[in-house]
């Protein structure tokens, strides 16, 4: 028997992404978000509430970074999702994280996050469910410590974590359990 929960955003996992922008005074603003992801080969889609300081920064700068936090920055990342720059102007500085300016877009790259997508705002769409931001990926940066012997990003080395909307938890990910486009091949029709 299955229990009914009604309408809830209950999918697992939900990503944890860090959106980096600059405030009008050139200070760094970073917020954690979970409602978004890749929507095309070179595009990301973010669903945000208009009230976020990050949204004002996106409108003003037309650029952002989108980073994957690791377990080593879980506390700092969670804090950046709890507190708004509208209320705490120095929220990024309080974390002790470090930022450098992107060479590709007008947004900060947070040094402690191992993978960062540098993005330009392509479109901002007001929808009944909130604001959808479409960003074009212009570059991906990865710390050498998360690369494999062939120079590819090794997901296991990210020590990434995901969000559980059902119980408000974070869960570590990274163990490979199958090979995409191969693990289910046994069910393919035989010629």
- Residue-wise pLDDT for 93-127, tens only, equals 999 999 999 999 999 999 999 999 999 999 999 98
- Confidence class of residue 22 from pLDDT cuts 50, 70 and 90? very high
pLDDT tens per residue across span 121-162: 999 999 888 899 999 999 999 999 999 999 999 999 999 999
Q: What is the pLDDT of residue 80?
A: 98
Cβ–Cβ < 8 Å for 53, 148 = no
Q: What tokens appear for 115 in the block?
A: 């993978």
**Could you give the CA distance from residue 54 to residue 49 in angstroms, rounded to a whole number?**
9
* Average pLDDT rounded to a whole number, residues 27-44: 96
**Could you give the CA distance from residue 55 to residue 124 in angstroms, rounded to a whole number?**
10
Taking the alpha carbons at both ends of the chain, their separation in whole angstroms is 40
* Average pLDDT rounded to a whole number, residues 10-30: 95
Q: What is the pLDDT of residue 49?
A: 92
Q: What is the pLDDT of residue 191?
A: 84
Q: What is the pLDDT of residue 185?
A: 92
Percent of the chain with pLDDT over 90: 92
Query: What is the topology classification, in CATH, of domain 17-187?
Result: Pnp Oxidase; Chain A (2.30.110)
Answer whether residue 83 shows pLDDT above 90: yes
Is the pTM higher than 0.85? Answer: yes
Q: What is the pLDDT of residue 145?
A: 97
Beta bridge partners of 161: 172
**Could you give the CA distance from residue 170 to residue 91 in angstroms, rounded to a whole number?**
21
Q: DSSP letter for 140, please.
A: E
**Could you give the CA distance from residue 83 to residue 141 in angstroms, rounded to a whole number?**
26
| Better-scored residue on pLDDT, 130 or 57 | 57
Q: Which residue has the tokens 């997901």?
A: 155
**Could you give the CA distance from residue 121 to residue 134 in angstroms, rounded to a whole number?**
6
């Amino acid at each position: 028997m299955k229990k009914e929960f009604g309408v809830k955003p209950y999918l697992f996992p939900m990503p944890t992404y860090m959106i980096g922008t600059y405030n009008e005074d050139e200070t760094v603003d970073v917020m954690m978000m979970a409602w978004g992801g890749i929507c095309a080969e070179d595009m990301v889609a973010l669903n945000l509430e208009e009230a976020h300081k990050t949204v004002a920064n996106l409108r003003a700068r037309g650029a952002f970074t989108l980073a994957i936090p690791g377990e080593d920055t879980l506390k700092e990342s969670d804090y950046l999702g709890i507190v708004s720059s509208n209320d705490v102007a120095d929220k990024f500085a309080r974390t002790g994280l470090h930022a450098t300016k992107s060479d590709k877009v007008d947004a900060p790259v947070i040094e402690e996050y191992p993978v960062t997508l540098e993005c330009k705002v392509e479109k901002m769409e007001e929808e009944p469910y909130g604001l959808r931001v479409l960003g074009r990926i212009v570059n991906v940066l990865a710390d050498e410590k998360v690369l494999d012997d062939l120079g590819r990003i090794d997901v296991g080395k990210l020590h990434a974590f995901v969000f559980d909307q059902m119980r408000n938890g974070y869960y570590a990910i990274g163990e490979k359990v199958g090979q995409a486009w191969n693990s289910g091949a046994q069910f393919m029709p035989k010629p």
